[in-house]
Structure 1
Amino acid sequence: MSSEIAPPPRPATRREQAKAARRVEILEAAARQIAQRGYNGVRLEDIGAAVGISGPAMYRHFESKSELLDTILVDVSERLHDGGVAAAAEGGTPAEILRRLIEFHIDVLVSRPDLISVQDRDLWSLSDAARHRVRSLQRRYVEVWVSVLIEHASDRGVQLEAVEARVRIHAMFGLLNSSPRLPEFPRDRLRGLLTSMAMGALEG
């Protein structure tokens, strides 16, 4: 068996770093516009104009508006799944892990509400491959919560079946994911309010 160690990855060049930063800028602009006007109401040229890129030049970053939407929603689904796994892996009591999961989900909502709005409204505009990937990530994210919620209920002397845990979790997501449509409210107070409401939905 070879004991050779793989060489470290090559550092990105300045041009590659600039292209990656521009790609992030495009994705953020696209999410904002699609959240405001809907997928069908936005053109690739509109997104380019928002970041100072001509229509033809946009195709150097994304082949189509469909690819752009796929990237946005797969990215946010991976972010939620990976963040949920990391939050659960930090350990602690089930109550502590559950609160950490809630706070993580709310952090995503509060920092990037446009992503959640696009996910809720434009999921069915995804390509088949991207929709399958997003659905798979969403199911796995829910299952992270399910195991924690069942353990938390057990600590409280409650026997909770997995099917009911999933219902509670999906209902709680519906509550939290509606936050981008709520009236204006101080952000620091909103976090606390959403956290207590989420915990109440899961424990009620």
Structure 2
Amino acid sequence: MKSNGLEYVFAAVALAGILQILVGIFKLGKFIRLVPQHVMFGFVNGLAVIIFMSQLEQFKKIVNGQSEWLSGSPLIIMASLVALTIGIVVFLPKFTNAIPASLVAILVVFALVFFFGIDTKTVKNIASVSGGFPPFHIPNIPISLKTLQIIFPYALIMGSVGLTEGLLTLNLVDEITETKGNGNRECIAQGSANI
């Protein structure tokens, strides 16, 4: 893909979307239920580790061009906000399920930071929020068997990984909420989004 250019990437993503839609139309999304429970737990735990590792950077600051761990009162404040958030998410459902615990945690911690003027990192400190969506266009590539041979393997991998992640997450949510989601609808939705 690297040697063929960005247009081929767009074409591969669109083809991945078409493949995902076909999986949904032919009702193949139900086969994700064949994935063993242990694989699902491994998948979810792997995601948790990745998210945890990415959040560790929030406990660092830049001093003289060097990245250093927080210490003193900034560390205590950050750890306290994290502990409060976790506490709300864990203990609020024991009292009520009327409002999602994660939403309450976000609102409470936001209010504390806002009203007490606590200095915390915001999105604008981490990355600039500018620009917009790329304009819609049809990839400028030759429509041929050779092009399909280039993009199909990548499209198949992207589509498979995306559906596996989405459907495993859907299964997990089904178990937690004791409901039954529609895997085929999920496939069609993901495919449509990729196109």
User: Is the shorter-chain TM-score for this pair beyond 0.5, marking a shared fold?
Assistant: no
TM-score norm. by structure 2 comes to: 0.31
Structure number with larger C-alpha Rg: 2
TM-score norm. by structure 1 comes to: 0.30
RCO higher in structure (CA 8 A, sep ≥6): 2
